[in-house]
Amino acid sequence: MIVEKNGFIHHVFFWLRNSDSNEDRNLLIGGLKKLSLAHTIKDYHIGAPADTNREVIDSSYSVSWLLLFQNKEDQDIYQTDPIHLKFIEDCAHLWKKVVVYDTVDVGV
């Protein structure tokens, strides 16, 4: 995963309604794998909290979804992509909370 200048990072954290349910976790991960077919996604990573423990680490989420886009415009297209909208329709019942961090290059 290399982020190019003017690249756009979209990092989504999901908290499952049933955080102890492997079935729900697997359904969400399956939905994310289907979502990865959206044509403007340059690269992606599906993750889970690492086994680390420091004061600054928040490992309360269930699944993370890191996306790389060529630019903000591609991310904007992704937001209305039918594959993305279908993912929300099919999987929104699985999560109780979603937090998104979008970042752009600082130009250094």
CATH of the domain at 71: 3.30.70.100
C-alpha–C-alpha distance, residues 94 and 22, integer Å: 11
What's residue 1's pLDDT? Answer: 59
Residue 15 has pLDDT above 70, yes or no: yes
- Residue 4 included in any domain: no
- Residue 55 included in any domain: no
21-66 per-position pLDDT tens digit: 999 999 999 999 999 999 999 999 999 999 999 999 999 999 999 9
Domain around 40: 16-50+61-104
Residue 12 has pLDDT above 90, yes or no: yes
What's residue 2's pLDDT? Answer: 65
pTM of the model: 0.92
Contact indicator for 103, 75 with CB cutoff of 8 Å: no
